[in-house]
Structures are given as C-alpha cells and as structure tokens.
Chains A and B, each alone.
Chain A
C-alpha cells in the first residue's frame, strides 16, 4: 500500500499511499502484484495455448495442437491453480451458481471442455466422422477459451481501462496472433513445406496489423472515456509503464515484425527471433493492461 505510482503530464501526479486509497486514482493490485503475477502468467498461457491449438488445428498440425494443449493445460491451468488461495476448492467453480453469472466460472468450464476435447482429439484417430465433429466442438471451446479472459476483465466496471467492449476483441486477436507465432515455430521445427509456412506467415502479418490498429484504437477510446481511463493510458504511454510499452509492445511486438516485411526472404533464425519478439509484445501488453488499471476516486477531488 505504501508503493508510489507517479505519472507526469498535465502537472498531474498520482501517488497512492495508505491515506490516499480511493481518494486518488488507486491501482489494481490483486491481479498483478506479488502472487498476482501468477494471474498474468495464467491468462497469457491459457490464451496462447488455446490460440495455438485453434490455429494448428486449422493447418492440421498435430504437434502444434499438442503444444497448444500443453501450454494451456499445464502452464495456464497450473499457474491459475497456484494463484488461488484454496486450489482444492476449485471444483466449486463448476458446481455452483457462479456458472450462471461469473466469467471465471464460465472460463474454467470452457478450458476444461477444451482440454478434454483436445485430449480426445490428440490421442484418437481424427479421420472418422465422430473425430471431425469432436475436433469442431473442441475448436469452438478453444475459441471461447481465447476470448473469455477479455470478458473476465471487461466485466469490471470499476476500472475504465478494462470496462470496454474492445478488450475481448483485442485479446482475441492477441491470442490468435500469438497462436500463429507458436504454430509457425512448430512448422519451422518440423521442416514443413514452404507453401504452408507462407500461408501462416501471411496470416500472421494480417493479425500483426490488426493488433497494432486495435492497440491504438483501444488506448484512444479508453483515453477519452473517463478521467481514470485517461490516467491509466498516460501511465502506460508516458508514465511508469512507458519503457515496457514502447520497447516491449511497440518496438519488439509491432515495429520489428513490421520491419521484417521489407525483407524479401526471412532466414529461419530471424523468423524465430521475430516470433519470440511477438510473444514478448503480447506478454508486455497484458502486463501493461493489468498494471495500468486504476480505480477512480470515491470522493470529490480536484482530479474530477
């Protein structure tokens, strides 16, 4: 509670100490600080895994599907369970009234159905008619898994940075874009033919531009939506999180992959590096969105 969060711009300085809790813009801490970092890792790997499965399934790449399944189930699910105060009670999320209204409950149901479907797909022949239907169903749950984290956050109306319909769309694009990256890595590792590789690359470029556009639109919309939204955007763009945003998200995640478009052919080692940069960009943006979240003050202030 004693940590300071400073932000320059318009002569406005945001600092939160004990006596400033909800009197000034107050940062969200539970899902990012200390043990909260596990929540970030969980969100990242769950979406990355489901996105990878979805894309790999589209390109019929079973090793990619397995990678996605493992990323989502082992890393994503593992970090999520580690984050919980009482992981042994997680079953209550599925067998309670929460399933009707809570996005975390729904998300867990999607993840479990995706993991079960993915397991059956990966370890049974998919050529049969039933196998195809099962794959189709699993892909639906993978899609829902990619998108649910955005809804978890967008449902929080106390944080203007999150409370926007653009966030689920941004996270969906982010999940599929990163999924394309991991699928590409799998193709590179398995020495797949150039035509498939090219299709994945073209799609990856399309999603790169979509991602860059959505990040811009998202930040602009939040900036003009609420004073706390404005403060959050400033914290990300010119405040404490600016180095991470500009180096991690913009330079590594967007500009470097875009610059690579100028090259006629990209050597595999450079492609590998670019995909790693893409993933760093994805992670950095998720960190910024969680860390930059601010609650507006409850009481009258000069900031209104």
Chain B
C-alpha cells in the first residue's frame, strides 16, 4: 500500500480551509502549518496568471528526510506514510534543511496565542489531547491516527469519510482525492491517470506521493 493524494488545481479556490482544518485537527502550535497555500504570479499585465498551490508533505516513496535522519526517528511506514517518532528525534534539523519541499518544521518553543492573557481553550485541549514535544521536528502525517483506525475497521482509504485525511474531508470544492496509489482501481489512481496529474518537481528524485492536476 502506498497512500497518496491528488490535488486538482483547477478546482482549488485557495480558501485556506485545508490549512485551518489541519491546524485544528493536529492542534498545531502557533506559527506552524503542516499545510500551506503557495500563491504566485507569472507573466505581466494583461497576460498575468495567478497560480494557487496547496502544499503539504509529499510522503515521498524515496524520501530524503528518511535517509538523512541520523537517529532513524523519521521513517516510512508500510502504508507509505512518512512519520517522525518524536521520542527518537535528536533535534539536529538535518531533515528540515534537506527536504527540498520545505515541508518540515522545528518545534522550537511554545508561543501562546494571546500572550499575558492565559491559554485559550484550544491550547488547553491540545495539552490534553495532542501534546507535541518541544525541540523536535514535526510534519504532516497524513492524519495517521484516523487512517490507521479506519484500516483497522477494514475501511478503504479514500472511500469513506472516516478513512480520509481531514484536509480532504473539509475541502469545499472537492479538489483533493486521497487513496492507495498502488491500487490501480482506487479513485486516486484513476484520477491521476485520467487527468494526467503530475508530481511537484520530480527532478529531486524523491518520487512524491502527492500529485497535482495542473492544466
């Protein structure tokens, strides 16, 4: 199994719902986003063009972050999800520097959302439900908790609400499809084939599992 995603840029409206949902789902600290929206422009008026790219960890098949990790804290699971074991991370940040997609963040310190006004309900809940270690590297984990639970229940990734990542579920235009790239009959594989989706910067040689329908 190799879990992956396709993002249809023709459907994406750049609403940031996936960014916010991801932040909420994983109780991310201030200043950290596992998903981002990159917006660029090419050409000049009147032929200018705007490009909106939602980006996240590509969960590469040949991830450079895994090979450079000196402690084996970053590893690729059987499902193709690349995760960081926080207990093993030494905080050298080699993976942050080495990732050509810059999809990793170092959790330096915890900054309160509203300094001197006490923690918000979100911050209190985080400490109970989803505490992140300080001074380790964090990254998108393809909502591994819900995916593993769904797999345990015999659900197929991408086919059920429970077996989808939070960002895919929240997308108002259904611009993203999640599923097993190794299964040629999965919706994600069909989408990639039919729409001729492409990987972002395949020249880095990491074989990303996130595809984009560009034109």
Question: Which residues from chain A sit less than 8 Å from chain B, CB to CB?
Answer: 1, 19, 21-23, 26, 28, 30-31, 83-87, 89-90, 92-93, 96-99, 101-105, 108, 152, 155-159, 295, 297-302
Q: Top 5 closest A-B pairs, CB basis?
A: A85-B91, A158-B100, A85-B135, A96-B72, A92-B71
Across the interface, which residues of A come within 8 angstroms of B160, CB to CB? Answer: none
Query: A298: which of B53, B94, B135 is its contact (CB, 8 Å)?
Result: B53
CA distance A243 to B200 in the complex (A): 37
Given contacts A1-B31, A102-B67, 12 further A-B contacts (CB under 8 A): A87-B90, A89-B91, A101-B66, A101-B68, A104-B68, A152-B94, A157-B100, A158-B99, A299-B40, A301-B42, A302-B42, A302-B43
Given contacts A85-B136, A299-B51, contact A92 B90 (CB under 8 A): yes
Q: Is B27 an interface residue (CB 8 A)?
A: no
Q: Is B93 an interface residue (CB 8 A)?
A: yes
Q: Is the CB of B94 within 8 A of A104?
A: yes
Q: Is the CB of A30 within 8 A of B93?
A: yes
Across the interface, which residues of B come within 8 angstroms of A99, CB to CB? Answer: 70
CA distance A156 to B67 in the complex (A): 11
Given contacts A23-B39, A97-B72, contact A155 B98 (CB under 8 A): yes
CA distance A90 to B91 in the complex (A): 9
CA distance A156 to B89 in the complex (A): 19
Across the interface, which residues of B come within 8 angstroms of A156, CB to CB? Answer: 68, 97-98
CA distance A28 to B38 in the complex (A): 18
CA distance A22 to B105 in the complex (A): 14
Across the interface, which residues of A come within 8 angstroms of B89, CB to CB? Answer: 85-86, 89
Q: Is B69 an interface residue (CB 8 A)?
A: yes
Q: Is the CB of B102 within 8 A of A26?
A: yes
CA distance A84 to B98 in the complex (A): 16
Task: For residue B209, give the distance in angstroms from its CB to the closest CB of chain A.
Answer: 16
- What is the 8 Å Cβ interface bit string for chain B, positions 93-119, against chain A (1 contact, 0 not)? 110111111100010000000000000
For window 120-160 of B, CB contacts with A under 8 Å fall at 134-136
Given contacts A21-B102, A157-B205, contact A93 B40 (CB under 8 A): no
A-B pairs with beta carbons under 8 A, tally? 125
Q: Is the CB of B102 within 8 A of A93?
A: no
Q: Is the CB of A102 within 8 A of B70?
A: yes
Q: Is the CB of A98 within 8 A of B69?
A: yes
Q: Is the CB of B98 within 8 A of A85?
A: no
Q: Is B12 an interface residue (CB 8 A)?
A: no
CA distance A31 to B98 in the complex (A): 11
Q: Is the CB of A89 within 8 A of B98?
A: no
Q: Is the CB of B100 within 8 A of A104?
A: no
Task: For residue B98, give the distance in angstroms from its CB to the closest CB of chain A.
Answer: 5
> Which of B31, B40, B96, B136 neighbours the largest number of chain A CB atoms within 10 Å of its CB?
B40
Write 26 A-B pairs (CB below 8 A) sorted by A numbering. Answer: A1-B31, A22-B55, A23-B39, A23-B40, A26-B102, A31-B93, A83-B92, A84-B91, A85-B91, A85-B92, A86-B135, A89-B91, A92-B71, A102-B68, A102-B70, A104-B68, A105-B70, A157-B98, A157-B204, A157-B205, A298-B55, A298-B102, A298-B200, A298-B201, A299-B40, A300-B42
Q: Is B88 an interface residue (CB 8 A)?
A: yes
Q: Is the CB of A299 within 8 A of B38?
A: yes
CA distance A288 to B200 in the complex (A): 29
Given contacts A85-B135, A104-B70, A157-B204, contact A298 B93 (CB under 8 A): no
CA distance A108 to B135 in the complex (A): 20
Q: Is the CB of A22 within 8 A of B102?
A: yes
Across the interface, which residues of B come within 8 angstroms of A21, CB to CB? Answer: 36, 38, 102
